[in-house]
């Protein structure tokens, strides 16, 4: 009895976890795969139990139409998972030349240094390409489709395939998102988890796809009036006149006015008290370089192709 209760509680918890992931907009096909694996590992005494009392079964019915659509149209993450695999790229490369049997594909991969059984090749490398209509099979002969050719040409003429294979598609999501305009760190954190976001931004900056933000959340000081309305000391006036309309950081003020940082802070405090200076934090903004924009456009085109 205790084991049955524990199992029921576990399924309820799984239901809540899966449902919350779907509502948050996480990759639905990935969640579906997890749900399917959960069902396959379950061994009910009677299948009717699933229909009548299993919360996971209820969840599958609830999102049935969404899962059906996603099976026909892969997400960008699914596409990246498929095309960032060197073996699948080799398969597309070979089929781009001419149609092949499974045995011929097996020999081609073997010559490229990849050794797999025919069964592994069929189920793990060829079938996923067929599932998204990149490849089609007829009478035991595999051929690349028009969509597959378009994707292959795009991958071989752009930098997409060179992006990190360990980024879970986050690098591509960032580039695609920035195509609509510059974004702050908080904006990007809405589409990529915080820990992964920092790593992705560093990779993209290192590859010259993003400009490195120069502000990075620094405090800037601005003059509140065109001319002082109170009597200012000589040093206060020097700092006041050093402030341009776009503002300056304390380091820039120190260099421009020729005053130590300690004294800059002291006089800024006085000027703030006299309401001649205000401070404001400027948030770092990320934007694409020309190379990044070109790559983001390629990603956007790839996404359009897989959705047609």
3-state DSSP of the chain: CHHHHHHHHHHHHHHHHHHHHHHCCCCHHHHHHHHHHHHHHCCCCCHHHHHHHCHHHHHHHHCHHHHHHHHHCCCHHHHHHHHCCHHHHHHHHHHHHCCEEHHHHHHHHHHCCCCCCHHHHHHHHHHHHHHCCCEEEECCEEEECHHHHHHHHHHHHCCHHHCCCCCCCHHHHHHHHHCCCCEEHHHHHCCCCHHHHHHHHHHHHHCCCECCCCCCCCEEEEECCCCCCCCCCHHHHHHHHHCCCCCECHHHHHHHHCCCHHHHHHHHHHHHHCCCEEEEECCCEECECHHHHHHHHHHHHHHHHHCC
Say how many domains are in the chain. Answer: 4
Q: What is the largest CA-CA distance in the chain?
A: 93
pLDDT digit string, tens, across residues 235-282? 888 888 888 877 888 888 888 888 898 998 898 888 888 888 888 877
> Where residue 232 sits, what CATH number does that domain have?
1.10.10.10
What percent of the chain stands above pLDDT 70?
A: 75
> Where residue 167 sits, what CATH number does that domain have?
1.10.10
pTM over 0.75: no
Residue 168 and residue 113 share a domain: no
Under 8 Å between Cβ of 75 and 26: no
**Among residues 36, 51, 72, which one ends one of the domains?**
72
Q: Which of 88, 121, 90, 87 is nearest to 103 (CA)?
A: 121
Residue 268 and residue 230 share a domain: yes
Domain boundaries, position 56 = 2-72
Question: 261 CB contacts (<8 Å, ≥6 apart)?
Answer: 250, 251, 254
> How many CB atoms sit inside 10 A of residue 288's CB?
21
Residue 181 and residue 53 share a domain: no
Residue 291 and residue 203 share a domain: yes
pLDDT digit string, tens, across residues 196-236? 888 888 888 888 889 877 665 578 888 887 777 778 888 88
- Cα separation, 122 vs 142, whole angstroms: 11
Residue 294 and residue 195 share a domain: yes
Mean pLDDT computed over 171-184? 86
- pLDDT interval class at 306 (50, 70, 90): low
Instruction: Round the average pLDDT of the chain to a whole number and report it.
Output: 77
């Amino acid at each position: 009895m205790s084991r049955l209760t524990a199992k029921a509680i576990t399924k309820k918890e799984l239901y809540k976890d899966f449902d919350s992931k779907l509502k948050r907009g996480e990759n639905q096909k990935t969640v579906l795969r997890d749900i399917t694996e959960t069902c396959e590992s379950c061994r009910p005494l009677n299948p009717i139990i699933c229909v009548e009392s299993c919360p996971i079964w209820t969840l599958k019915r609830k999102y049935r139409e969404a899962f059906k659509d996603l099976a026909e149209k892969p997400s960008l993450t699914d596409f990246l998972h498929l095309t960032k695999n060197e073996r699948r790229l080799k398969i597309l490369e070979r089929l781009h030349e001419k149609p092949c049997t499974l045995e011929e594909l097996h020999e081609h991969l073997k010559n490229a240094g990849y050794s797999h059984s025919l069964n592994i090749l069929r189920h793990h490398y060829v079938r996923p390409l067929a599932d998204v209509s990149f490849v089609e099979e007829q009478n035991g002969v595999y051929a690349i489709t028009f969509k597959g050719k378009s994707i292959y040409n795009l991958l071989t003429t752009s930098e997409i395939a060179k992006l990190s294979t360990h980024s879970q598609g986050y690098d591509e999501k960032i580039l695609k998102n920035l195509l609509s305009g510059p974004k702050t760190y908080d904006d990007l954190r809405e589409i990529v988890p915080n820990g992964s976001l920092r790593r992705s931004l560093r990779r993209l900056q290192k590859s010259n796809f993003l400009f490195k933000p120069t502000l990075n959340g620094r405090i800037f000081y601005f003059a509140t009036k065109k001319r002082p309305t109170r009597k200012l000391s000589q040093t206060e006036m020097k700092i006041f006149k050093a402030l341009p309309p776009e503002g300056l950081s304390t380091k820039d003020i120190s260099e421009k006015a020729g005053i130590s940082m300690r004294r800059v802070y002291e006089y800024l405090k006085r000027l703030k008290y006299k309401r001649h200076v205000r401070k404001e934090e400027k948030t770092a903004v990320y934007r694409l370089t020309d190379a990044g924009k070109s790559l983001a456009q390629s990603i956007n085109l790839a996404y359009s192709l897989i959705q047609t």
